Structure 1
Amino acid sequence: MNMRQGRDGRERLVVIGGDAAGMSAASQARRLRSPEELEIVAFERGHFTSFSACGIPYWVGGEVPERDDLIARTPGEHRARGIDLRLRTEVTEIDVAGQRVRARDVDSGAESWTPYDKLVIATGARPVRPDLPGADAPGVHGVQTLDDGQALLDTLAGTPGRRAVVVGAGYIGVEMAEALIHRGFAVTVVNRGREPMSTLDPDMGRMVHRAMEGLGITMVNDAEVTEILTGADGRVRAVATEDAAYPADVVVLGIGVRPETALARAAGLPLGTHGGLLTDLAMRVRGHGNIWAGGDCVEVLNLVSGQEQYVPLGTHANKHGQVIGSNAGGGYATFPGVVGTAVSKVCDLEIARTGLREKDARRVGLRFEAVTIESTSRAGYYPGAAPMTVKMLAESRTGRLLGVQIVGREGAAKRVDVAAVALTARMTVEQMTALDLGYAPPFSPVWDPVLVAARKAAARVRGAQGPS
């Protein structure tokens, strides 16, 4: 009989983090075990639970009218399900040997220890803040939580100037740039890469570049920020690179995020090359039978490359939580890995990718053939048909699909799901050409654009192999 069961006969599950992975785990464990069998205590340092971080740019831009529209389940709803949820409470230490966590009340500073039988670490990610002069000045914002989003909106409302600089051009940077345009700001994006959206190959990122400029966004590529300049009042006034300074009344950091694993590192838990926690297929922290981890604080297996990867997405976090909750609640589930699927948009330009980019394939030693095709979202004669570009990578010898990138207008992005399924099934591009996809002129040409790319890739693979 362990420490907790010796007190009231119940096991105690402690969850660190109240967003997607943490509260999904708590909710799933509660479905499997009653409050009389399993006590669940969840700590969240912020004001909100179970919210959509992915929706924050659309709230900031005004497309989602209310903050609460992004909240899937409120603290009250979690508590009504028998979860002891403690908001504004930050876990500051994990004592693995003693099976307990130390938590601090954010408002009062009071600290206390809470023992656990089972522990879930769902601490999420933190926005990357460059180690530069002025990076912490008033008017400089990272956007990761609803609190962050509200702080940015307050700054936008209270700023008389209408100049914004976004640092970084990944998903968050691109989406925040569009949001700021919707708010009436003149926007400059400073990006150290050749093209925006480094999750795409540069030739596909160039299309995103053109779309952003079409919105009136000023793109500055191949530029490294050296300093964030401030005025006499201490507030941000410009973003400086080696070559120029770009005036700014507000700065948004869209450089990306890193796993929030300081607690795990201090506790001696295993971390990967990207700084995320390492888990087994059951999302159990490696080497620790009663500790699980999920969401943006973990690394996952990429099923195409065979290597661990850091992929902070809400889709994965919710799946991790379901798996963790099932296992912590006495059931059984696994999370086999990812293929790296993601979609986004700039105005009406849809952007999608799955699998490996060219540099990913080279890094893991794969030889490949790359093809790019132009097609349309519908039959060319049907009203509303829009152009679409599909890029596909296939392994040289086997023809196995390695990756797909799609940029186009309405109807482009979700076509990547076909490729994601094919990657998961380890299909060859030759096999893909026979897929029985839905067809009618309002939805697709006779040959769907993904299948057109597969046909071209299959021919390229055959040609690279030479005559038999």
Structure 2
Amino acid sequence: MAAERLVIIGGDAAGMSAASQARRLKGPDELSVTAFERGHFTSYSACGIPYWVSGDVTGRDQLIARTPEEHRARDIDLRTRTEVTEIDVAGRRVRALDRESGETYWTGFDKLVIATGARPVRPELPGMDAAGVHGVQTLDDGQALLETLERTTGRRAVVVGAGYIGVEMAEAMLKRGYEVTVLNRAEQPMATLDPDMGRLVHDAMDGLGIHTVNGAEVTGITTGPDGRVTGVTTDGASYPADVVVLGIGVEPETTLARAVGLPLGPHGGLLTDLSMRVVGHENIWAGGDCVEVLDLVAGRTRHIALGTHANKHGQVIGSNVGGGYGTFPGVVGTAVSKVCDLEIARTGLRERDARAVGLRFVTATIESTGRAGYYPGARPMTVKMLAEYRTGRLLGVQIVGRDGAGKRVDVAAVALTAGMTVEQMTALDLGYAPPFSPVWDPVLVAARRTVSVLRKAGTA
């Protein structure tokens, strides 16, 4: 009996996790695994690219979890520099283009995994393709940016966008000795936070010497006679630049899926069931940055491009394809980042998210420290908490601070997943010693304050 044919489109976290897990469950006599990756690298941490650019990570290879050669040694037919250009759903085959030779060919499948990831948002504005303008989505992108920095004599960098990638790349350029300007179209940096918390990030960035311009709508890139970038224009000003980094965000790469009518959600990502199987298609799975996932707090799908989710998706897909069983129930929207020593974290809903799904809520914001106030090195942090009006159910937490502030969000993420109320949170038995926390951990202080707000509103 011929081996079942598994084809995977995409060779990073979700795709190769699925390939590896399926191979663990079934040998090559039962299951052939063919994976297509259009780039040079596989199984790498895109989230680590800003730290490679900054020099905190000293080499590209440190970001690679498993090389193509290592995958091939595990009986996975991995074809790099090969791009899938078409899916034939009815014929159960994909068309591939070898980007080195130009050859195109069809490969049949019994089971298909789509793990095409996300693509950077790159506005169609004048000069966006100029030399010296860089995105940072792949290792190839990171390598290209580093090569530009080595050739560039000027020391002015403009970062377009102030989300996670934007603030991380601003830090990277600052560490490399550049004069950094961040152009942000939103009211405050980090639109994943509420504006009052984003203001704290803005103030900290200014204190670090990063010039942050909010409400700045980029209109184009200016270039010199040699075609290289010389500046960035907005609707109200112009900013000189020797290098431009785009940190505007990403969107699901679902071009192939859209072309064959696979189901997409409101954010453009593929829709799957709990097993990560594409809705309405028995033999097609999808995972990673090209899918939408269920937000367990809001009850709606959303697009979240994170390696943590992608690896979990791949494990679930590989288990199901390989004859086992796995599910991915959804997310609560946890994310953490930093700019220099300032840590930024959130989980659950922002105020506008809660309003968008029709939830009534209260908020409370507290200031505390990451250690006992008398212990050396205690630094301030701000915690904002949202709770549902009447029920007191936790809806979201945002944290901005230093000294281990970011990872405190994990307590809130667990509470959200468990559906806890803020009053239940006040009794959590968290670890305490002066070097690690005040007697009342900042998250619990915020929970107590939120309970007080609920009581004043007559709902608790």
TM-score under structure 1 length normalisation: 0.97
Deviations 1:144-180 (A, max 9, x none): 0000000000001111111110000000000001101
Residue of structure 2 in register with 1:127 after alignment: 120
Q: 2:439 and 2:285 mapped to 1: Cα distance?
A: 47
Q: Which amino acid aligns with 1:102?
A: R
1:466: how far off?
5.9
User: How is 1:80-229 mapped onto 2 (pairs within 5 angstroms)?
Assistant: 80-229=73-222
Amino acid at match of 1:130: P
What is aligned with 2:456? Answer: 463
Match of 1:316 in 2: 309
Residue 465 of structure 1 aligns to a residue in which SS? coil
List 4+ stretches of structure 1 deviating above 3 A.
none
Match in the other structure for 1:261: 254
Work out whether residues 14 and 288 of structure 2, in 8 Å CA contact, stay in contact via their aligned partners in 1: yes
| Cα distance between partner residues in 1 of 2:318 and 2:332 | 23
Q: How many residue pairs get matched?
A: 460
Deviation at 1:107, TM superposition (A): 1.3
Counterpart CA distance in 2 for 1:290 and 1:466 is 49
Query: How far off its partner does 1:289 sit?
Result: 0.7
Does 205-214 or 400-409 show the bigger shift? 205-214
1:413 is matched with 406
**Shift in Å, 1:335:** 0.2
* Residue ranges of structure 2 left out of the alignment (5+ in a row): none
Find out whether 1:442 has 2:435 as its counterpart.
yes
Distance across 1 between alignment mates of 2:432 and 2:237: 51
What is residue 4 of structure 1 aligned with on the other side?
none
CA apart distance, 1:465? 2.0
Alignment deviations for residues 371-390 of structure 1 (CA, whole Å, 9 cap, x no partner): 00011101111111111100
What's 2:280 paired with? 287
Amino acid at match of 1:238: G
- Tell me, what secondary structure is at the counterpart of 2:231? strand
Aligned to 1:337: 330
* Corresponding letter in the other structure for 2:101: S
Q: Which amino acid aligns with 1:97?
A: A
Shift in Å, 1:108: 1.2
1: distance between equivalents of 2:378 and 2:133?
41
Who is 2:342 aligned against? Answer: 349
Q: 2:187, 2:215 within 8 Å by CA — same for their partners in 1?
A: yes
Does residue 1:78 correspond to 2:71, yes or no? yes
Matched AA of 1:449? P
The corresponding residue for 2:13 is 20
Query: Residue type of the partner of 2:156?
Result: R
SS at 1:444 equivalent:
coil
Q: Distance in 2 between matches of 1:351 and 1:57?
A: 16
Q: How does 1:226-305 map to 2 (within 5 A)?
A: 226-305=219-298
Secondary structure at the counterpart of residue 355 of structure 2:
helix
1: CA distance, partners of 2:39 / 2:381: 42
Q: Is the 8 A contact 2:391 2:459 kept in 1?
A: no
1:369 to 2:362 alignment: yes
Aligned counterparts of 1:462 and 1:309: Cα–Cα separation in 2:
32
Matched residues in 2 for 1:251 and 1:335: separation?
A: 38
SS at match of 2:457: helix
SS at match of 1:246: strand
| Structure 1 gap ranges (5+) | 1-7
Residues 422-457 of structure 1: per-residue CA shift (max 9 Å, x gap): 000000000000111111111111110000000111
SS in 2 for 1:229: strand
Per the TM alignment, residue 60 of structure 1 is displaced from its structure 2 partner at its CA by: 0.3
Q: Percent identity?
A: 79
Q: Assess if the C-alpha contact under 8 Å between 2:383 and 2:446 holds in 1.
A: yes
Structure 1 residues 119-167: Cα deviation after superposition (integer angstroms, max 9, x where no partner): 0000001111011111111111111000000000000111111111000
Equivalent residue, structure 2, for 1:60: 53
Q: 1:9 to 1:160 in 2, by over 3 A?
A: same
| Structure 1 segment 373-388 matched on structure 2, within 5 A | 373-388=366-381
Question: Which residue, out of 352, 360, 363, partners 2:353?
Answer: 360
CA distance in 1, matches of 2:24, 2:51: 32
Task: Work out which of the residue numbers 429, 433, 437 in structure 1 matches 2:426.
Answer: 433
How much does 1:185 deviate? Answer: 1.0
**RMSD between aligned residues:** 0.8
Q: 1:130, 1:253 → 2: CA distance?
A: 10
User: Which amino acid in the other structure matches residue 104 of structure 1?
Assistant: L
Aligned partner of 2:321 in structure 1 is 328
CA distance in 1, matches of 2:305, 2:266: 15
Deviation of 1:99 (Å): 0.3
Q: Would you say the 8 A contact 2:389–2:459 is kept in 1?
A: no
Who is 1:398 aligned against?
391
The CA deviation at 1:287 is 0.2
* Cα shift readout 1:31-69 (whole Å, capped 9, x = no counterpart): 100111100000000000000000000000000000000
- 1:388 and 1:173 mapped to 2: Cα distance? 22
Which is further off, 229-238 or 414-423?
229-238
3-state secondary structure, aligned to 2:310:
helix
The one-letter amino acid of 1:451's match is L
Give the partner amino acid of 1:131.
Answer: E
Letter in 2 for 1:150: Q
Change (3 A) 1:265 1:466: closer
**TM-score after normalising by structure 2:** 0.99
